[in-house]
Amino acid sequence: MSTPPDPAVLYPDVAACGGLAAALRAAAEGRLDSVLAISPDSGSLMSASVTSTLPHREPLRISAWTHERRWSIRGEEPFQGSCLIDGETEDLAQVATAARAWHDGDSLDDIRRAAPFAHLTGCFEVPDLDPVRLVESEWQGLLQEARELEYSWQPQHQALVEAAYAEPALRALYPFTSHWALRFSSTTRPSLTLGSPCLSACSDGTYGVGTGFITPDLGVFATAPEAAALAVRHLPTGFGPVTLGRPAAP
C-alpha cells in the first residue's frame, strides 16, 4: 500500500486555517460561527465534529480521506448508535451546509435537499425510543442496505431480507445481521437478546435456517419465503414483543 501524502500537502487550505473545524467555519461563510465545531485536537486536519441542538442526535462526524482529497460525514442517534446519514464529497462547502442543517435540527430529508451528497441510510429518528418504531427504523435501514449492496450475491441477500420482512412475526422483531446472516432479537440495541432462528443465503443459491449462527440445521430451501416461513414456525414461545435493550451495567 502506498504511503499517504502529508495531510498538509493534500489539504493546504485546511492547514492554513489551523485545522478542519476552522476550515469548516471558513467554508460556511458565517453560517457556522455560532455552532460548536471541534476537532479532537486544536490542529487536527483530518477530523472534526459538529454538535446538534437535538438531544437525539450525536455530533456529526467529519473525516478527511488520507489518500485523496475528499471528506466523509456520519450522523448517528445516541441510544443505539444507528447511522442516520452519511456521504462523501470533494466540496467542503457542501459538508458545511450539511453540518449546519444537522446542527439546526433540520429533518433528514431537508438535509439531503440542502446537501445532495448526503445519503440517508433508511433508518429514521425515534426521539421517544418507542420500541415498535425502533424496530421499524432498523428494518427500513436493513432493507435499504440490502437494495444498495454492490456484491454479486446482493439479489439473494435482498430476497432474504424482504422475505423475512413480509412475515409479520419476524417483522415485529428487531433485525440485525452478522456476517450477512439475518438474525432477530426481542430487545433493541445496545443489548440484543438471541434465541431466534438464523437465516442465511447459501453459496449455492439456496437459503438456510438454523438454530445457531449460519449452520442451517433446521433446513435448506430453494426460495427465501420458504426459509422465512420455517423461521416463523421455530420462533421460541414468548419471544417478544420487543423491549428496549438497556446498556450493560458497568
Average pLDDT over residues 105-131: 98
Shared-domain flag, residues 115 and 135 = no
pLDDT exceeds cutoff 90 at 92: yes
Q: Give bridge partners of residue 198 from the DSSP assignment.
A: 210
Considering the domain architecture, whether residues 73 and 152 belong to the same structural domain is answered as no
Question: Does 97 have pLDDT greater than 80?
Answer: yes
Q: How far apart are CA 46 and CA 191, in angstroms?
A: 32
Q: Where is the domain boundary, 99, 120, 141?
A: 120
Other residues' Cβ atoms within 10 Å of the Cβ of residue 105: 13
* Sign (positive or negative) of CA dihedral 218, 219, 220, 225: negative
- 3-state secondary structure (DSSP) of residue 175: strand
Q: Supply the mean pLDDT for the chain.
A: 92
Last residue of a domain, one of 91, 120, 149: 120
The pLDDT of residue 43 is 67
Domain around 191 = 131-233
For the chain, the straight-line distance linking the first and the last C-alpha, in angstroms and rounded, comes to 40
Q: Give the pLDDT score at 62.
A: 96
Question: Which three cell numbers, joined as nine digits, stand for 98?
Answer: 450539511
What band does 1 get if pLDDT is binned at 50, 70 and 90?
low
Task: Determine, yes or no, domain membership for 101.
Answer: yes
- Is 250 part of a structural domain of the chain? no
Q: What percent of the chain has a predicted confidence (pLDDT) above 90? A: 80
pLDDT above 70: residue 249: no
Which residues face 88 on adjacent strands? Answer: 72
Quote the CA–CA distance of 79 and 247 in Å, as a whole number.
Answer: 9
Q: Is the pLDDT at 238 greater than 80, yes or no? A: yes
> What is the sign of the dihedral through the CA atoms of 193, 195, 197 and 202?
positive
Residue pair 164/171 in contact (Cβ under 8 Å)? The answer is: yes
Indicate the pLDDT class of residue 73, thresholds 50, 70 and 90. Answer: very high
Give residue-wise pLDDT tens across range 189-237: 999 998 899 999 988 999 999 987 778 889 999 999 999 999 999 999 9
Residues in contact with 71: Cβ distance below 8 Å, sequence separation at least 6, in sequence order = 62, 63, 64, 65, 88, 89, 90, 92, 95
Does 246 map to a domain? no
Tens-digit pLDDT profile for residues 18-62: 999 999 989 988 878 777 777 777 669 999 999 999 999 999 999
Quick one: which H or E segment has residue 46? none
Give the chain's domain count. Answer: 2
**Residue whose grid cell is 443459491:** 205
Q: Per-residue pLDDT averaged across 112-131, rounded?
A: 98
Same domain, 142 and 190: yes
Note if the bond before 225 is cis, omega within 30 degrees.
Answer: no
On whether residue 35 sits in a domain, the answer given is yes
CA-CA-CA-CA dihedral for 199, 201, 206, 209, to nearest 10: -20
Tell me, yes or no, whether 41 and 93 share the same domain: yes
Q: Is residue 240 part of a domain?
A: no
Question: Which has the minimum average pLDDT: 6-15, 31-40, 153-162?
Answer: 31-40
Q: Model confidence at 8, in pLDDT bands (50, 70, 90)?
A: very high
The answer to whether position 238 is within a domain reads no
pLDDT tens figures, 136-148: 999 999 999 999 9
Say what the alpha-carbon torsion angle 21, 22, 26, 31 is, to the nearest 10 degrees. Answer: 60
Question: Are both 187 and 228 inside the same structural domain?
Answer: yes
